[in-house]
């Protein structure tokens, strides 16, 4: 073995000794500063805990993928989540997952854009939250004592998919209706929460044409989820930063900061951060201009939490029976679509959304009505990106006055409106909020609920509200919604339908039933007869559109392609 001995020459020794003396002096000076700080302020100087503090940040754990499903005979089988199930009984879905030991003691957030129908969620056999019913977004904070860090955990979702005719959304009875999907129909996510984070972020815009500018306001709720080290004391302050990219150049960015401000452990703080956008590009289906917005929560120079979203600037008004978009009259060319997205996730979901929007826009439509269910968040996001208005509504379908007298039903429906509006109000694609579909809307109890529903929606967002109605005379409720969609399917478009009611637009819902039994079977295959029925439907829709276009005034229309209802989930062909 060869050993090499390094010797320090006298010259090198002479260079090292001064350096050692300087280091010793700096050490004594630093100790003196610590003592002086303690004497003058009454609290110690920076400790090792403070100098090494690194705030924990948010990170998500996707719970999609393989789950176990228990059926009625108590046998288990593997399924892939998201999943849409047609079974109308109780189901149990279960999944094992691991939590990193480094996250020990941290709170978690369990969330999903929607599960269906009702039930409870358990973590490690302990009930965490209940599901009220309906495919509406939900989230719940899980305390650290409910989970095992550095070990395996189990999440269990017990669903009750039994609908009834009195209280469920949708109701069990739905003449000419569709079969709703049940199960873990949308992605499920578990998020490890940061020390302090962005609990809620909403971005509102308003166009100011007289100033050739727009006002953007970020409404942010900040929450301290975990206490910071005691030694930080008065240093536990935060800054909120909002930045908007206004162009393609690096300097085309507006940034505003609010703070620093303190936040006690477990406390919330709500802040409104305004910005002015000069000469804004306006959003419309023909020009879906959007502004990237980043909201960050800072502790000193460190980023604790961040959220990215997009904002569109546009104004929607109703004047003299017309829609007015960005100061100009705008004709609504709408189509009905019953969602086919439940049970899809990942790339399949993205591909299907792109396919649907591309097909709808290829028809020449500028608006899609998502019939009888709150739209999928990713669908609305893509409509904002690609340029397509969305009419969003809750599944209050064919409800009678008796339903509107039941507290359980009405409160559940009001909750569905709140959840729908909160989930989608940041999106410029949302044109209006729907309150009910073909309900017994002129009865006294119905009118009372519709007034409450309209008030609830307007308290959360300033966009119009609408009502889909079949009532022969709906003038008695003309003061409640901002416009109507009049269901005139199987009726001629010129059958005395008003284009305006009390100065509000009335959009006809056009469609045509085609009875395949009326088409001769002789020499025709089933497929051939189906295509012939579609042609007959198309001819009738064209006739109705020509009759509508000949009117002196109309604000637009919505088309319903009835012949394309195939199976449990009808789709627009």
Whether residue 562 is predicted with pLDDT greater than 70 in this model: the reply is no
pLDDT band for position 472 (cuts 50, 70, 90): confident
What mean pLDDT do residues 215-224 have? 95
What are 294's strand-pairing partners?
A: 243, 308
* DSSP-derived 3-state class of residue 360: helix
**Model confidence at 492, in pLDDT bands (50, 70, 90)?**
low
Q: Cis omega before residue 117 (within 30°)? A: yes
Q: What is the mean pLDDT of residues 174-178?
A: 60
pLDDT at 118 (0 to 100): 85
Lowest mean pLDDT among 172-181, 216-225, 341-350, 405-414: 172-181
Whether 493 shows a pLDDT value over 80: the answer reads: no
Segment 405-429 mean pLDDT: 94
Structure tokens at 277: 């956008």
**Residue 204: both structure tokens together:** 């509102």
- Average pLDDT (103-116) is 90
Least confident among 14-18, 388-392, 458-462: 14-18
pLDDT at 298: 92
Q: In the structure, what pLDDT confidence band is assigned to residue 497 with cuts at 50, 70 and 90?
A: low
Beta carbons within 8 Å of 443's beta carbon, 6+ residues apart: 400, 401, 404
Mean pLDDT of the 250-270 span = 88
Give residue 251's pLDDT band: very low, low, confident or very high (50, 70, 90): confident
Average pLDDT of 447-469?
96
Inform me whether the pLDDT recorded for 361 exceeds 70: yes
Average of pLDDT values for 218-232?
A: 83
Neighbours of 559 (CB within 10 A): 21
Give the pLDDT confidence score for residue 451 in this predicted structure. 97
The confidence score (pLDDT) of residue 233 equals 56
Predicted confidence at residue 230, as pLDDT, reads: 66
Closest CA to 392 of 371, 411, 377: 371
How many Cβ atoms are within 10 Å of 523's Cβ, its own excluded?
A: 6
Least trusted range by pLDDT, from 41-50, 119-128, 230-239, 431-440: 41-50
β strands within 56-125, DSSP E: 59-62, 65-70, 76-81, 90-98, 108-112, 118-123
Between 230 and 450, name the one with better pLDDT.
450
The model's confidence at residue 231, banded by pLDDT at 50, 70 and 90, is: low
Across 386-425, the runs of DSSP E, i.e. the strands, are 389-393
Confidence at residue 525, expressed as pLDDT on a 0 to 100 scale: 75
Predicted local confidence at residue 17, as pLDDT: 47
In this predicted structure, what is the pLDDT of residue 88? 75
CA-CA-CA-CA torsion sign (517, 522, 524, 527): positive
- Confidence category of residue 235, pLDDT binned at 50, 70, 90: low
Q: Could you tell me if 201 and 259 are in contact, meaning their C-beta atoms sit under 8 angstroms apart?
A: no
Mean pLDDT of the chain: 84
Q: Check residue 490 and give its pLDDT.
A: 53
Give the CA distances from residue 71 to residues 41, 90, 282, in Å, rounded to whole numbers and listed in that order.
Answer: 67, 8, 51
Name the residue among 70, 168, 147, 43 with its Cα closest to residue 104. Answer: 147
Tokens representing residue 513 in the block: 């039933």
**Which whole number is the average pLDDT over 473-490?**
88
Q: How far apart are CA 525 and CA 217, in angstroms?
A: 60
Q: What mean pLDDT is predicted for residues 480-500?
A: 75
Tokens of 205: 């815009």
Specify the pLDDT at position 475: 85
> Does residue 413 have a pLDDT over 90?
yes
Single pTM value for the model: 0.85
Q: Round to whole Å and give the CA distance between 29 and 32.
A: 5
Q: Does residue 175 carry a pLDDT above 70?
A: no
Confidence (pLDDT) at 295: 97
Q: How would residue 10 be classed by pLDDT, with cut points 50, 70 and 90?
A: very low
* Three-class secondary structure of residue 483 per DSSP: strand
Please give the pLDDT value at position 135: 66
Token duo for residue 448? 């009372």
At which residue do the structure tokens 């609990």 appear?
199
Cβ(171)–Cβ(398) under 8 Å?
yes
Helices within 371-513 (DSSP H only): 377-386, 401-404, 407-424, 444-460
List pLDDT tens digits, range 136-152: 788 899 999 999 999 99
Residue range 319-327: average pLDDT? 95
| C-alpha to C-alpha distance for 179 and 91, rounded to whole angstroms | 17
């Amino acid at each position: 073995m060869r050993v090499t001995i390094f010797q320090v020459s006298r010259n090198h020794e002479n260079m090292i000794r001064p350096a050692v003396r300087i280091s010793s002096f700096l050490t004594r000076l630093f100790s003196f500063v610590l003592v002086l700080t303690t004497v003058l302020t009454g609290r110690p100087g920076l400790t090792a805990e403070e100098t090494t503090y690194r705030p924990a940040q948010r990170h998500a754990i996707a719970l999609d993928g393989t789950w176990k499903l228990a059926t009625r005979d108590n046998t288990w089988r593997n399924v892939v989540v998201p999943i849409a199930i047609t079974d109308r009984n109780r189901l149990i879905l279960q999944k094992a997952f691991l939590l990193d030991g480094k996250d020990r003691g941290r709170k978690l957030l369990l969330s999903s854009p929607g599960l269906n129908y009702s039930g409870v969620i358990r973590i490690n056999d302990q009930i965490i939250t209940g599901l009220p019913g309906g495919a509406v977004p939900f989230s719940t904070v899980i305390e650290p004592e409910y989970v095992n860090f550095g070990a395996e955990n189990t999440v269990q979702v017990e669903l009750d998919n039994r609908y009834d005719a009195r209280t469920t959304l949708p109701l069990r009875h739905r003449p000419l209706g569709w079969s709703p999907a049940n199960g873990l129909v949308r992605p499920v996510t578990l998020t490890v929460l940061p020390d302090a984070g962005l609990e809620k972020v909403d971005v509102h815009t308003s166009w100011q044409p007289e100033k050739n500018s727009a006002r953007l306001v970020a409404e942010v709720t900040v929450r301290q989820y975990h206490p910071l080290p005691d030694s930080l004391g008065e240093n536990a302050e935060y800054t909120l930063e909002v930045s908007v990219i206004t162009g393609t150049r690096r300097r085309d960015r507006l940034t505003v900061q609010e703070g620093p401000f303190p936040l006690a452990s477990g406390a919330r703080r709500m802040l409104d951060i305004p910005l002015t956008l000069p000469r804004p590009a306006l959003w419309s289906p023909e020009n879906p201009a959007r502004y990237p917005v980043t909201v960050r929560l800072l502790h000193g120079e460190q980023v604790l939490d961040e959220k990215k979203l997009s904002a569109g600037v546009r104004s929607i008004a109703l004047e003299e029976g017309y829609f007015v978009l960005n100061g100009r009259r705008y004709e609504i060319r709408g189509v009905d679509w019953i969602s086919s997205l439940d049970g899809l996730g990942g790339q399949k979901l993205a591909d299907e959304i792109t396919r649907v929007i591309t097909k709808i826009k290829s028809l020449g439509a500028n608006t899609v009505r998502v019939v009888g269910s709150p739209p999928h968040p990713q669908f609305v996001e893509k409509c904002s990106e690609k340029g397509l208005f969305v009419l969003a509504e809750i599944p209050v379908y064919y409800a009678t006055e008796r339903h509107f007298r039941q507290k359980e039903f009405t409160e559940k429906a009001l909750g569905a409106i709140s959840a729908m509006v909160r989930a989608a109000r940041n999106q410029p694609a949302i044109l209006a909020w729907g309150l009910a579909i073909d309900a017994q809307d002129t009865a006294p109890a119905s009118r009372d609920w519709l007034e409450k529903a309209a008030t609830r929606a307007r308290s959360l967002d300033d966009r119009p509200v609408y009502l889909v109605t079949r009532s022969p005379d709906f003038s008695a409720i003309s003061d409640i919604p901002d416009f109507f969609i009049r269901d005139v399917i199987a009726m001629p478009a010129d059958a005395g339908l008003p284009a305006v009611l009390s100065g509000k637009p009335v959009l006809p819902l056009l469609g045509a039933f085609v009875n395949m039994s009326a088409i001769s079977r002789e020499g025709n295959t089933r497929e051939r007869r189906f295509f012939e029925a579609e042609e007959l439907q198309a001819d009738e829709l064209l006739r109705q559109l020509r009759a509508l276009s000949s009117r002196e005034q109309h604000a637009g229309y919505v088309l319903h392609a009835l012949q394309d209802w195939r199976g449990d989930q009808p789709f627009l062909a």
